[in-house]
A and B are shown apart, each in its own frame.
Chain A
Amino acid sequence: MNLAVRDIRHNAGRFVLTTVGIGLLLMIVMGMGGIYRGLIFEATLLVDRAGADLWIVQGSTRGPFAEVSRLPANLEDRVRAVPGVARARRFVSHTIQREHLGKPMRMVVQGLSWPDDRGGWIPLVAGRELRQAHYEMIANVSLGLRLGEKFTLGKDAYEVVGHTRGMVGSSGDGLAFFTVSDALDIQFDVPGEAVRLERAARRARVENVEIGRLQPLLLERAAGQASGIPALAMPQVSAVLVTLQPGADEAAVRATLGTWPDITVYSTPEQKNLLLTGMVDKARRQLGLFRNLLLIISTIIIALIVYTLTLDKIRDIALLKLIGARNRVIGGLILQQSLFMGAFGYALAWWIGQFAFPRFPRLVVIEPADLVSLGFIVLVISTLASLLGIWKALRVEPNTVLSA
């Protein structure tokens, strides 16, 4: 006869309420793990999908995900000349915040190296890839931009020609893909007044030196468009992505590129590792700490409930001892109740999570291995939680029945 089940049935209301509470706590614990996994997934999504073998970044920096990395755009052409390199693409990525339909919208502006890269590698759920060098974009659906909608960024309007899903940056903001030149225009867009002020400042600086006063053409150039002064306004990109030829020796290519003092080269796994150890590590520790605290709270709650249930049964336990029940019968009753509480709470957490997690603002990834490990943790904390109740039960004297 299973005493634990019968007692639970007798106190069904209290058991259900407690289990719901435990279940919600465990759901948050489960969600914390899922958010961490989602964080890693989102953070490394772009690096994975970009499909590069090597990442070339500004010398002595850790790449565009860790810090500012500026490279001349023509580096792409230098890299293409290295033996073993099949393809080199400019990489531009930066986050902007604008308003859309009256609500703030954060967007990761991603540059595609037109015309080599038109976004064919992006998994589209609607629309098409880019077909022209300017004024088109592919947007992640989470941005809320409709297909065909024209969205103004800087001085230009960009038409949404394709939709993708699940493509987000390391902070969870949706990606929008433009050509590199459009992405740079968006990044370096400055208001007209700022341009006028800058031109005036340039003119003033040139007028202050003798050569400026002697060479009117130079003065005219300084007061003109920035694009007319290539040496001063060289286009900058964040990185250059390298795809190797099939069978090419990666080490040899890296050795060649390693002799260039203005760049640093990382493999894709190295770039991912930098991303995770830099950006995600603190979030991981924060989530881990919070998760552990919740597990401790769950343990304490289960322990208190089990202890209270034990106190309620103290006369029954004394009676069981009087009629000769072994300690394992009494301990088993309490342990099983604790395990039932943990198991039902866990199952409830999983079930509620099926509905709740997709509604979380950040991606929640629940992996089978995480479910198994959390199940094991629940088993351990349920066992630990029962110890207080078992300790109390084993101390009860059988003559408590007579004296009560």
Chain B
Amino acid sequence: MSTPSAMTPAVEVTHLRKVYGSGHTEVVAIGDATLSIARGEIVAMLGPSGSGKSTILTAMALINPPTTGQIAIGGKPVLDGPRALVDLRAFRRQHLGFVFQKANLIPFLTALENVQIALEVNDTAPRKARQRAMELLDYLGVGARAHALPVALSGGEQQRVAVARALANDPGLILADEPTAALDSHRGRQVMELFAKVAHERNAGVLVVTHDHRTLDVFDRILDVEDGMIHTRQPNAQASDTRVGLPRH
């Protein structure tokens, strides 16, 4: 659980560059990206397929290290290029939460256990973990389904359980990769509003990669990723070029 000061960004990415392959097969996925998300802020990242959104997200998730650039989470430098400055796995379990397009719940665990496991891997005692997991499910409105296996849950319920799991260790940064893609518009909006609620009430930075333009009004800020450029805009404004992105090389 992180307790940085209110002014500390949830995440700060500086001059991020990611290159796949080498020589003739070299592909520059991210040219030079710099961005910051404050705690309590919910940010959307839009862009066509192959624009580099997922590369930025996975780099911030500490599972796809950049070629160059720095990433600091909660004010703590964690990556300097591909070099890890901390134990990444331990850092992920303590400071990051993840939600995906599919809920990715473990099929042999109940909804409650899917949340509980995230707490137990972070050394929370089983009894306390169970209590906290139940509180989170109640908070997200799926407490009544706590003992159901994922297969018995609807898509919306599964995604709520996934959000509960992401919140389990009270992370400073939540990363979501197209979390509403598998949901209808009504349920998709519910999930996005849930993220906004989490960001504002729990003071977490939330970055959501999405294609769903109908829910952009719930975000504090929108990042457009296109042709290696990151543009930032307010939810009700048109896209405009900013200094946070640079063209691909």
Contacts and interface: CB of A to CB of B under 8 A. Distances in A.
A324 B58 contact: no
A11 interface: yes
Q: Which of B58, B94, B129 has the most CB of A within 10 A?
A: B58
Given A321-B89, A322-B61, A324-B92, A401 B104 contact: yes
B54 interface: yes
Interface in A244-291: none
B104 A399 contact: no
A10 interface: yes
A323 B107 contact: no
Given A397-B63, A398-B63, A401-B104, A323 B92 contact: yes
B222 to A, nearest CB: 22
Contacts of B92: 322-324
A324 B104 contact: no
Given A324-B94, A324-B122, A402-B100, A319 B58 contact: no
Contact of A323 (B64, B108, B109, B118): B118
Interface string A7-22: 1011100000000000
B191 interface: no
B106 A323 contact: no
Given A1-B113, A319-B106, A401-B104, A324 B93 contact: yes
B121 A326 contact: yes
Contact of A399 (B58, B107, B126): B58
Interface in A273-319: 315-316, 319
A316 B108 CA distance: 10
Interface string A320-339: 11111110010000000000
Contact of B108 (A6, A321, A326, A397): A6
Interface in B193-235: none
Nearest to A6: B108
7 contacts: A3-B108, A3-B109, A3-B117, A10-B149, A319-B106, A321-B89, A323-B165
A323 B54 contact: no
Contacts, number: 68
Contact of A11 (B54, B93, B108, B118): B108
A9 B108 contact: yes
A interface bracket (residues with beta carbon within 8 Å of B) = 20 to 34
A399 B108 contact: no
B interface bracket (residues with beta carbon within 8 Å of A) = 20 to 34
Interface of B: 54, 58, 61, 63-64, 89-94, 98, 100, 104, 106-109, 113, 116-118, 120-122, 126, 129, 149, 165, 177
Nearest to A11: B108
Contact of B109 (A6, A315, A325, A399): A6
Given A1-B116, A1-B117, A316 B93 contact: no
A11 B122 CA distance: 27
A323 B108 CA distance: 17
Contacts of A7: 108
Given A322-B98, A324-B92, A397-B63, A1 B104 contact: no
- Nearest 8 CB-CB pairings of A with B: A324-B93, A10-B108, A325-B121, A399-B63, A324-B92, A7-B108, A398-B63, A316-B106
Nearest to B89: A324
A154 B92 CA distance: 90
Given A1-B116, A322-B92, A399-B58, A315 B104 contact: yes
Interface in A1-53: 1, 3, 6-7, 9-11
B177 A402 contact: yes
A18 to B, nearest CB: 16
Contact of A1 (B93, B126, B165): B126
Q: Which of A7, A11, A325 has the most CB of B within 10 A?
A: A325
Contacts of B126: 1
Interface string A392-404: 0000011101100
B64 A399 contact: yes
Given A323-B165, A397-B63, A399-B58, A329 B121 contact: yes
A378 to B, nearest CB: 25
Given A315-B104, A316-B106, A324-B94, 4 more contacts: A319-B104, A323-B117, A324-B89, A402-B100
A316 B165 CA distance: 14
Nearest to B151: A10
A261 B118 CA distance: 86
A10 B129 CA distance: 22
Contacts of A319: 104, 106
A372 B107 CA distance: 37
Contacts of A326: 89, 121
B121 A320 contact: yes
A338 to B, nearest CB: 17
Nearest to A325: B121
A329 B108 CA distance: 16
Contacts of B113: 1, 6
A3 B120 CA distance: 11
Given A324-B90, A324-B121, A402 B54 contact: yes
A138 B107 CA distance: 68
Nearest to B94: A324
A397 B108 CA distance: 21
Contacts of A316: 106-108
A398 B107 CA distance: 17
Contacts of B177: 402
B107 A10 contact: yes
Contacts of A397: 63
Contacts of B63: 322, 397-399, 402
Contacts of B121: 320, 323-326, 329
Contacts of B149: 10
Nearest to A322: B98
Q: Which of A10, A323, A402 has the most CB of B within 10 A?
A: A323
